[in-house]
Amino acid sequence: MNYPDRFDVIVVGGGHAGTEACLAAARMGAKTLLLSHNIETLGQMSCNPAIGGIGKSHLVKEIDALGGAMALATDAGGIQFRILNARKGPAVRATRAQADRVLYKAAIRETLENQPNLWIFQQAVDDLIVESDEVRGVVTQMGLKFFANQVVLTAGTFLGGVIHIGMQNHSGGRAGDPPAQALSQRLREYPLRVDRLKTGTPPRIDAKSVDYSELQEQWGDEPRPVMSVRGNRQMQPKQVCCWITHTNEQTHEIIRSGLDRSPMYSGVIEGVGPRYCPSIEDKIHRFADKPSHQIFIEPEGLTTHELYPNGISTSLPFDVQMNLVRSIKGFENAHIMRPGYAIEYDYFNPQDLKYSLETKVIGGLYFAGQINGTTGYEEAGAQGLLAGLNAARRSRELEAWCPRRDQAYLGVLVDDLITLGTSEPYRMFTSRAEYRLLLREDNADERLTQLGFEMGLVGEAQWQSYCEKREAVDRERARLKDTWVQAGTDEADKLQGKVKSPLTREYSLFDLLKRPELKYIDIASLKGDVNVSEAVAEQIEIDAKYSGYISRQQEEIDRLRAYENTRFPEAFDFNAVDGLSNEVKQKLSDARPETLARAQRIPGVTPAAVSLLLVYMKKRG
Ligand code: FAD
């Protein structure tokens, strides 16, 4: 049967990529359908219910700056908020929130159900409708056909998913959910490069069975951070404590004795796991000389006793899991509520995607999230937003959009994926961005909100409040630049004890703020009353202290902009460029970079090769 209505965009999968994708497309005015296995699992966190962290919160705030849902849902569900790297520079500072998984999911569901232009339907998608290399719709498990010329696939870990606990394994998309087998088979018929990855999760512990007496408490930060520019502290629920414990020699011995029944070490699992989130058996093996590993014990919510022991992800047999857990301080009598497991799944080589996240081989088919080889909710959400946005733009015959590497972590993420591909689960870090002083989490709105508003992604209320903030920053910056403090006056005396060297002449308040030892609050009210928000004060302080470095990065970006703007035509023949080595020709032909800047980032493409390409493109005009 054919479903009677046509859609502009169909999104398959209601995880983190899928929800941001369908919301973005619908915000842009596209008639959008979200199809997912189970409405109850929309926005479900498969692993730890935590959002943000280093590099990741930057993505969350960029999604937020473009009108997305993740940050606001984190404020609605966050039960502990912290600033990581608080003592380091602003480029690497990151917000992290532990969330109540039920509250988070409810916030996402409410956003989805109240989004105009968005329809939701519960059903597995088993097949794509493709005509002459163009997608035309999807077919569900019960044979129902939905039609749209743009389809965004966000199937997460579900394609050909196999769950492993010890030497036992079974098909599954994640614990308790079915895999997507039919769709996995169908996708393998297209000329898309597919491979296997794996990820894992720890056993969950019943809080009632934990002895907290010797565990180290860890509370959230005060003043409490807020994740969304549209959020506030009042909307955040009750805050809770987390704890810290450690593995010990006995734990490690138990793990070593179980390795012969580990699916990873006996060769049953072939997929590569996440380097930066390894299983405990991986850690014991790789860091054999470390006597102990830290475990963060994190509550899964306010209405459950389930605890997430962050740091002991494992797929060892259940009897080994049981023993290793009980060898840990505080867990001596622990009851495991859910066993840990690993999952292997299909992912597609992201080098087969355009920067819009549309596949190169099937027009109108977009991939976003874990199926592109990434790991993490934030990486998935960011890609989802981009794919949804571009699917909506394509439906209106508008050119695709993707931020540049100097504009957003989202630009870094997509550029890394499509230029370099990935052979292991890719997660974001600040170290992946060469312009990280410009791409701070505090200025995501400055970088993206205007663009988002112009594209139709950002609503009127968010735009207005962004404009008010921008005006307040400009006003206060101007005031600080125009307000002077003379050495030897009362105002200068107030700084005694705070400044490293005494004032010897007249300084503007803005110049004083450039001194590392002075903070905005130290100088703001030296002359006159001020009343600006924390966000405005933060912007001004960073601006004053880092403006020299920021403008140097900006100059470098401007110099390289010519490379970004040099685009290769769609069917460009790299073999026709005289002087390139066969190796470089091969690398370029395989990766098919869209711009000279992307070509430059392919390993093995030398500066000399880039010059040859530049000369060739200039000659072509
Ligand atoms: P998912 O969140 O997996 O969502 C996929 C959605 O698509 C689901 O709603 C599913 O029902 C739906 N779907 C799939 N196929 C179909 C179909 N054919 N028809 C209809 N609907 C379909 N990330 C980390 O950063 N660190 C970790 O330690 C970590 N550990 C993990 C451990 C496990 C066991 C799992 C399963 C995941 C783990 N992750 C981890 C990954 C994290 O969960 C994902 O990165 C993130 O959820 C990806 O989002 P997504 O939207 O791409 O996919």
Confidence of residue 618 (pLDDT cuts 50, 70, 90): confident
* Span 215-232, average pLDDT: 96
Which DSSP letter does residue 341 get? E
- Pocket probe mutation, ligand 1, options 40, 41, 44, 370, max atoms within 8 Å of Cβ: 370
Residues 461-480: tens digit of each pLDDT: 999 999 999 999 999 999 99
Percent of the chain at pLDDT > 90 equals 74
Protein residues whose CB sits closer than 6 Å to any atom of ligand 1 = 12-18, 35-38, 41, 46-47, 124-125, 154-158, 173-174, 177, 180, 183, 199-201, 277, 343, 369-370, 375-377, 380
Per-residue model confidence (pLDDT) at position 166: 93
CA–centroid distance, residue 35 to ligand 1 (Å):
15
Residues 17-76: tens digit of each pLDDT: 999 999 999 999 999 999 999 999 999 999 999 999 999 999 999 999 999 999 999 999
Per-residue model confidence (pLDDT) at position 579: 84
Per-residue model confidence (pLDDT) at position 570: 83
Which DSSP letter does residue 139 get? E
CA–centroid distance, residue 569 to ligand 1 (Å):
35
The minimum-distance atom of ligand 1 relative to the CA of 427 is 25
Residue 338, helix vs strand vs coil: strand
Q: How far apart are CA 51 and CA 107, in angstroms?
A: 14
Residues 105-121: tens digit of each pLDDT: 999 999 999 999 999 99
Per-residue model confidence (pLDDT) at position 148: 98
- Pocket probe mutation, ligand 1, options 37, 157, 310, max atoms within 8 Å of Cβ: 157
The minimum-distance atom of ligand 1 relative to the CA of 180 is 18
Report residue 61 as tokens: 């705030």
Ligand 1, atom 43, residue with closest C-alpha: 46
Spatial contact of 598 and 588, defined as CB atoms under 8 Å apart:
no
Q: How far apart are CA 220 and CA 203, in angstroms?
A: 24
CA–centroid distance, residue 96 to ligand 1 (Å):
20
Residues 325-339: tens digit of each pLDDT: 999 999 999 999 999
Q: Kindly provide the residue ranges of all beta strands, DSSP E only, lying in 38-167, ordered along the sequence.
A: 50-52, 78-84, 94-99, 118-122, 125-131, 134-140, 145-147, 150-153, 162-165
Binding residues: 13-18, 273-287
Per-residue model confidence (pLDDT) at position 196: 95
CA–centroid distance, residue 61 to ligand 1 (Å):
21
Q: How far apart are CA 114 and CA 117, in angstroms?
A: 9
Spatial contact of 241 and 79, defined as CB atoms under 8 Å apart:
no
Residue 377, helix vs strand vs coil: helix
Binding residues for NAD(+): 273-287
- Pocket probe mutation, ligand 1, options 347, 375, 379, 422, max atoms within 8 Å of Cβ: 375
Report the 10 Å Cβ neighbour count for 491: 18
Ligand 1, atom 3, residue with closest C-alpha: 156
Q: Which residues of 213-251 are buried (b: 16+ CB within 10 A; e: fewer)?
A: eebeeeebeeeebbbbbbbeeeebeebeebbebbbeeeb
Spatial contact of 458 and 452, defined as CB atoms under 8 Å apart:
yes
Confidence of residue 403 (pLDDT cuts 50, 70, 90): very high
Average pLDDT, the chain: 93
Spatial contact of 9 and 28, defined as CB atoms under 8 Å apart:
no
Q: How far apart are CA 170 and CA 189, in angstroms?
A: 24
Confidence of residue 557 (pLDDT cuts 50, 70, 90): confident
The minimum-distance atom of ligand 1 relative to the CA of 369 is 52
Q: How far apart are CA 311 and CA 488, in angstroms?
A: 56
CA–centroid distance, residue 475 to ligand 1 (Å):
45
Confidence of residue 445 (pLDDT cuts 50, 70, 90): very high
CA–centroid distance, residue 155 to ligand 1 (Å):
7
The minimum-distance atom of ligand 1 relative to the CA of 16 is 51
Residue 79, helix vs strand vs coil: strand
Spatial contact of 3 and 144, defined as CB atoms under 8 Å apart:
yes
> How wide is the angle at C-alpha 303 spanned by C-alphas 298 and 309, nearest 5°?
20
The burial class, CB within 10 Å (0-12 / 13-18 / 19+), for 190 is: middle
pLDDT higher than threshold 80 for residue 276: no
Q: How far apart are CA 405 and CA 389, in angstroms?
A: 18
CA–centroid distance, residue 171 to ligand 1 (Å):
15
Answer yes or no: pTM beyond 0.90: yes
Peptide bond into 263 cis (omega under 30): no
Report residue 100 as tokens: 């109540």
Residue 497, helix vs strand vs coil: coil
Residues 448-458: tens digit of each pLDDT: 999 999 999 99
Per-residue model confidence (pLDDT) at position 255: 94
Region for 575 from its dihedrals, namely left if φ exceeds 0, alpha if ψ lies in -120 to 50, beta otherwise? alpha
CA–centroid distance, residue 284 to ligand 1 (Å):
26
Residues 497-555: tens digit of each pLDDT: 888 888 888 999 999 999 989 999 888 888 877 888 989 999 999 999 988 888 888 88
Confidence of residue 160 (pLDDT cuts 50, 70, 90): very high
